[in-house]
Every structure is written in C-alpha cells, then in structure tokens.
Copies of this chain bind each other. A is one copy, B any other.
C-alpha cells in the first residue's frame, strides 16, 4: 500500500507555514513562505500551490500520495462552505478558499480558524494527545484558544466557538479590548495585557526593580515580568498575580462548563513555565468544582509554532478522507 500523507497549511500575517504529515501524525517536511498581502492577498494561494508542487517534486513524492490538505486562517470563517468571511490581517473577504485552493493543489481542502487548529494540533500530536477533551489557551499578543470536545473542535452555530480570550472577567471598569467590549480576559492575561498592568504597577511601586529596569532599558516584556516576580519584586508579583488570578478564574469557569481532561497553556507567555502554572493552578483550584478539578490537569503546549500546521493536517485527515 502506498504511503498516505496530509498537508498542513497555517496562513499567518507574515508567513505561511506548511508541513507534510503521515496519517499517524509524523512530520516529514516543514517549510514556510512569506505571506504576500499585496492586493488583498490575491497571490497567496498561488504561492502556496507553487511551493507545494515544488516540494513534491524535490522530495520525491507523487501527488496521489496526498489525501488532502487542511488550512488554518486567522479570521471569521464558514467552515462548512469553505469560505473566509473576513481575515483582517490577510485581506481576504468572502473568499471561497477551499474551492480555489483545492483546484490549485489538486487535492481536497478543508479550512478552519487558526486558533482552533492550534488546539487540534496539540490534541493530535502534542500535550493533549492522550485525551479527548481539552481547552487550549494561547497567551500571546492576544488570548486565543480552542476547545476540543469528544475529539472534535467546538465551533458553535456561527464559528465563534472557543473565543475564550473574550470572556468578560472585569464586568465594570475593565480596560478596552480590541473586540469592542471592555474587561475581556485578553486585556489582563495576554502579553499586551500584562505589559499594560506592569505600567500601572510601575506607578504604584516607583522604586521596584521592575520599574527601575524599565526606566533604565525601556524594556518591559512578560519574560522580564515573570523573572522579576520570581525574584520577589513587588510590582512584578502584583502583575503576575492579577493576570493569573483572572486566567485561573476563567479557566475554572470554562472547565465547570466543559469538564476537560487537560487545560493546555501555549503562546509566547507560556515560556514562563512553572512561574506561570503555579499561580494559575492556585486560582483555578479555588474556583473549579471538586470533581472538575480532579478530572483536569494543566500542561504546557508542546508544539510551539508547529501547532497550527499539525492541526491543519489533522483537519485534512479528519474531514477530507471521509
């Protein structure tokens, strides 16, 4: 029997990541191309296709070894119709991506939201590969995420399922969020939110090490915030405490509703590792139901930037081969 492969594609604002996987989740090739956003991204699919065909030839594959491709895109998507309703960072609007890309690649294509596919990637071959129910929090510039329930992505009726960054955690007087609301989880538990909190803490603790470091270097990143906090600095500790308090409360409330086996923490902020997990689980344990707590484990994401292509390949395996 001929080996069967799936292609995973993760379209980002600066690069399109691509990878070839076996159906058993083994990654065979990985590469990326720049995202050409000229004219609302009209050449992106041609670039993807050319790069795929060139790789097939170069690596000695034959095209009929590929059973399908999955593609992740940041934006509002009609998964069933395969249409990007709006991808603000790419420029696509009402864009029938699966029909177009499937013709160019010569294989069936399925599309989903990039945040959902990161969760699917961790579920297929990462931190959640031993469970069927997980929540992924991706802590980066914003707070993204995805929900896997009974081994499949939760989309909801309009594709908005898993918008866990926009759970309201500060109902009154919270900071404005990019979504138009205020007090969303993203405003306090993203890298951007933590840096904002650090600037507030700097006013409250003008002589703290974190504040002085910022005054001296002009630098304030979550890496520094966690490091100064671990070192006992009161300004940094307050920022970490606030940020993890709201993340723990939100995680507990989502878990009280979904009863997951794992809660996976990914994104750049998760590099803090135990310095993040310790306060996070403290607050989670305070607000989760007893059995929900004992059913769930916190783990760090394992795939890093590969989560998106892995999830996209899983999507192809899951949906286009049926």
Contact = CB atoms under 8 A, between A and B. Distances in A.
Interface of A: 76, 131-133, 147, 149, 154-164, 166-168, 171, 179-181, 249, 252-254, 256-261, 287, 289-292, 294-296
Given A181-B287, A253-B253, A287-B181, A292 B168 contact: no
A131 B157 contact: yes
Given A149-B149, A179-B289, A291-B76, A253 B167 contact: yes
A149 to B, nearest CB: 6
A156 B287 contact: no
Given A168-B249, A249-B168, A160 B254 contact: no
Contacts of A261: 157
Count of identical protomers in the assembly = 2
Contacts of A295: 156-158, 160
A164 B259 contact: no
A259 B158 CA distance: 7
A161 B249 contact: no
Contacts of A259: 155-161, 163
Given A167-B257, A257-B147, A258-B154, A160 B289 contact: yes
B253 A160 contact: no
A132 B157 contact: yes
A76 B295 CA distance: 13
Contacts of A167: 253, 256-257
Contacts of A168: 249, 252-253, 256, 287
B149 A133 contact: no
Residue from the set A256, A290, A296 with the largest chain B CB neighbour count within 10 Å: A256
